[in-house]
Amino acid sequence: MAGPLDRADLPGHGRSEPLPRYSFGALAAAVAEVVPAGTTVAVLGHSLGGVVALTLASGWFGVRVSGACGLGMKVRWSDEELARAADQATHGRAAGRRAGAGGSRGG
């Protein structure tokens, strides 16, 4: 590996504070805030994190991304799933937070 490995909790996951409203762009912007200026990164995400990784790679967030990979992303949503996701985005998932699941840095 050419550089350090960083992991981050998305807002509202682990120990990270929730956002007032959720969108792929809002999540990508939150990740962009923790990338040091001038750093080029390769991003990898699973499920929702995969969509966020690809959104971050769009170039709209001021982060230089050399490569992006999204694994296990859901690409088809029923009306019921969309309604449930909208409800969770509005009301948060505080009850589902796990103690001790904060972001970390590995090498």
How many domains does the chain divide into? 1
Report yes or no on 93 lying in a domain: no
Closest by Cα among 34, 32, 19, 36 to 94: 19
pTM as predicted: 0.71
Report yes or no on 70 lying in a domain: yes
The pLDDT, as a whole number, for residue 1 is: 52
Please write the tens of the pLDDT for every residue from 13-66.
888 898 888 889 999 999 999 999 999 999 999 999 999 999 999 999 999 999
Positive or negative, the CA dihedral 40, 26, 91, 82 is negative
Please write the tens of the pLDDT for every residue from 59-106.
999 999 999 999 999 888 899 988 888 887 776 554 444 333 444 444
The pLDDT, as a whole number, for residue 84 is: 87
Question: Whole domain around residue 62: which residue ranges?
Answer: 5-88
Distance CA 81, CA 52 (A): 19
Q: Does the pLDDT value for residue 2 go beyond 90?
A: no
Report yes or no on 103 lying in a domain: no
Report yes or no on 98 lying in a domain: no
Report yes or no on 24 lying in a domain: yes
Report yes or no on 100 lying in a domain: no
- How far are the Cα atoms of 12, 44, 46, 82 from residue 74, in angstroms, in the given order? 19, 15, 10, 12
The pLDDT, as a whole number, for residue 6 is: 83
Report yes or no on 96 lying in a domain: no
The pLDDT, as a whole number, for residue 97 is: 43
